[in-house]
Structures are given as structure tokens and as C-alpha cells.
């Protein structure tokens, strides 16, 4: 039986080499089964222990244990190495390929339309001006020659803030006309995109907050003809060359004469109408010039205001204003 002791080292060596040589996990497992499995060669050697003479058993047990630890250690290490290798791509990786493109965000359709409007006006020398959304009655109404009993000031359709000087959420961007003129002398050529607020119940065409663009042009000898040309240029850029405009007499307290602008194109016909009302405008009222300290005998000007949602609805054929505020991706992804 001393033959058994002699077998330990060569068999261990053979098993170590087989484990080491395994190039993948299934080769490794085959080697494990061959030597360490229930019917493996190494296991068989263990089983022979019982038949050794008593005095040889401690020596044999010690050597077999050392050998077994070595084999199991190598097996575990090889398993780890080969498992990791199995996760790596088999094909070489081309790191110069372009990366995956994440879906980038987009600008909200109202922002896109606003930017287009601003871009058109910039081409003809207008600059963007800004003013506060929480306004005082003076800038929103009085300075614009809107008397205290005017319906526009009705608390029914205005959000007043319940503090002593009664600030309010501006009902239109016209308040910024006053703020700009108070702060700089003519000539003036501004547009004012911004948010406005009115006590409206939301429906397909109304919302308690929406957006407007105000325009103001002040210089010497400014005429209504300048305004017609300007507005026509911008609307044609925005909504197509086939745009036709119609000016109707109207009333605004801060302009005289005052007009409303109707608009017609293939887009309005698509919405089932020949003409759609799109903007208010007029020649700046002399009282307004007086209120900001401009001499109405020297300076002339025109102003206009229109709703951005309205333009976007016509441009894209949208029939419900509330879609702009719901942030439903199925809607937003279309722009």
C-alpha cells in the first residue's frame, strides 16, 4: 500500500496542471469532475486511506489534505478568472465608434414660437425688454390711461394681492411700455415677451395665465404705415408668405387711434375660419407720453400686443390651449 503514498504527488501535479490548463468554465468543470468529483481520481485516492496500515495513515492524511487544499484553492481562483473572462466581449471593441445618442430634451413649443418672434423683430432693430409680473396698479392701468372705472381693472378679472398698496399680477405686458419709457429717453424700439394673468376659467381657448408679446416704437414722425409694414413682415416670417392682415378700428385707452389686427392664411382656413383676430395695436396716446415725461408734440409712436399661445395654436393647428400647460410628452414630442 505504500504505492498509494507515491501516487499523491504525481496525481496532485497532474490535477493542478489540468485545472490550470482549463481555458473556459466548462473545461474547468470537466477537470474538477475528473479529479475531485464523487468518482474522481483524487477522491478515489482519499477512499484508499482506510486500507492503509495504521502507522502510515497520519502521514498520508496530512499530505492528502495539503494537496486537496491546493487543488481547491486553484479551482476557486480559476473559476473567478474564467467567470470574469466569460463576461468580456468576444469581439474586439472599436472605441472610435460614435456613442449611443441619448434622447435630448427640446424647447417647449411656446418657447420655440417666442424665440422665432424675437428673432424676426431683432432683424429690424428691436431689442427685448423685461418687467415684473407682480405689478402695481399705476404701471398696469393708470399710466396707460386706463381710468379707475375701466372694466379691465375689475377685481373680477384681475388677481390682486391683499396688501395695503394692492399689487397685482399683470394683466398684460403693456405695463412694461411704461417702465421702459420712464427709464430711458426716445427713440425706443422694444419687444416684451412675458407671462400675464387673468381671472379666467380654463377652457379650450382661455387659461388664467398665458403669454403675450408687446411692441413699442417711439421716434419722431412715426406713422401707422410703419406699424403695418412691421407687423406684416413679422407675421409673414412666422406664419407664411400667404398671410393677409386686416386692421379694424377698436378701443384701447393707451392708443389713439386703436385697431385690432385680423389675420388670414391657409392656416386659418385649416381651422375653419377665414379671419382670426390676432392682435391689438394703435398710435401711443398723448396722455401716455405725458405720464412718462415725453413731450407728445415732439414724439410719436405705436404699440401692439398679441398672445403667443394664439400664434402657436394657429401655427401648429392646436385647438386646445390647455395642451401647452399639461406637459404631456406625447404632445411635447411633436415639436
Residues within the interface to ligand DAH (CB under 6 A): 172, 174, 214, 252, 255, 280-282, 303-305
C-beta closer to ligand DAH: residue 120 or 174: 174
Give the nearest distance from C-beta 247 to ligand DAH in angstroms.
Answer: 12
Cis ω on the peptide bond leading into residue 257 (within 30° of 0)?
yes
Helix (H) / strand (E) element for 99: namely none
Give the nearest distance from C-beta 96 to ligand DAH in angstroms.
Answer: 57
C-alpha distance from residue 181 to each of 188, 199, 219 (Å): 8, 28, 12
Give the list of residues 6+ apart from residue 289 with CB closer than 8 angstroms, or none: 181, 295, 296, 299, 301
C-beta closer to ligand DAH: residue 31 or 176: 176
Give the nearest distance from C-beta 197 to ligand DAH in angstroms.
Answer: 11
C-beta closer to ligand DAH: residue 193 or 280: 280
Give the nearest distance from C-beta 304 to ligand DAH in angstroms.
Answer: 5
C-beta closer to ligand DAH: residue 131 or 305: 305
C-beta closer to ligand DAH: residue 303 or 318: 303
**At residue 219, what are phi and psi to the nearest 5 degrees?**
-165, -170
Most distant CA pair in the chain: distance in Å?
A: 130
Give the nearest distance from C-beta 117 to ligand DAH in angstroms.
Answer: 15
Whether residue 228 contacts residue 247, with contact meaning beta carbons closer than 8 Å, is answered with yes
Taking the C-alpha atoms of residue 237 and residue 249, their distance in angstroms, rounded to an integer, is: 25
Amino acid at each position: 500500500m505504500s504505492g498509494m503514498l507515491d501516487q499523491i504527488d504525481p496525481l496532485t501535479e497532474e490535477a493542478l496542471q489540468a485545472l490550470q490548463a482549463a481555458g473556459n468554465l466548462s473545461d474547468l468543470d470537466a477537470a474538477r469532475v475528473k479529479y475531485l468529483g464523487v468518482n474522481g481520481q483524487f477522491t478515489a485516492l482519499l477512499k484508499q486511506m482506510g486500507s492503509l496500515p495504521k502507522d502510515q495513515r497520519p502521514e498520508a492524511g496530512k499530505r492528502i489534505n495539503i494537496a486537496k487544499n491546493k487543488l481547491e484553492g486553484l479551482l476557486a481562483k480559476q473559476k473567478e478568472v474564467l467567470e470574469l473572462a466569460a463576461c468580456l466581449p468576444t469581439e474586439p471593441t472599436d472605441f472610435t465608434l460614435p456613442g449611443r445618442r441619448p434622447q435630448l430634451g427640446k424647447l417647449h413649443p411656446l418657447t420655440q414660437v417666442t424665440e422665432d418672434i424675437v428673432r424676426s423683430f431683432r432683424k429690424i432693430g428691436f431689442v427685448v425688454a423685461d418687467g415684473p409680473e407682480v405689478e402695481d396698479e399705476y404701471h398696469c392701468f393708470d399710466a396707460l390711461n386706463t381710468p379707475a372705472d375701466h372694466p379691465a381693472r375689475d377685481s373680477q378679472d384681475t388677481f390682486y394681492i391683499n396688501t395695503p398698496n394692492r399689487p397685482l399680477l399683470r394683466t398684460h405686458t403693456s405695463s412694461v411700455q411704461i417702465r421702459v419709457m420712464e427709464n430711458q429717453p426716445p427713440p425706443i424700439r422694444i419687444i416684451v415677451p412675458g407671462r400675464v394673468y387673468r381671472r379666467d376659467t380654463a377652457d379650450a381657448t382661455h387659461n388664467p395665465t398665458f403669454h403675450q408679446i408687446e411692441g413699442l416704437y417711439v421716434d419722431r414722425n412715426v406713422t401707422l404705415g410703419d406699424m403695418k409694414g412691421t407687423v406684416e413682415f413679422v407675421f409673414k416670417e412666422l406664419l407664411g408668405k400667404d398671410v393677409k392682415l386686416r386692421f379694424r378700428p377698436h378701443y384701447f385707452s393707451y392708443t389713439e387711434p386703436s385697431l385690432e389686427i385680423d389675420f388670414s392664411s391657409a392656416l386659418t382656413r385649416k381651422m375653419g375660419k377665414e379671419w382670426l383676430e390676432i392682435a391689438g395695436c394703435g398710435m401711443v396716446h398723448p396722455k401716455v407720453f405725458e405720464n412718462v415725461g415725453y413731450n407728445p408734440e415732439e414724439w410719436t409712436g405705436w404699440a401692439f400686443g398679441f398672445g403667443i399661445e394664439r400664434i402657436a395654436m394657429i401655427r401648429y393647428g392646436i385647438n386646445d390651449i390647455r395642451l401647452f400647460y399639461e406637459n404631456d410628452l406625447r404632445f411635447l414630442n411633436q415639436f
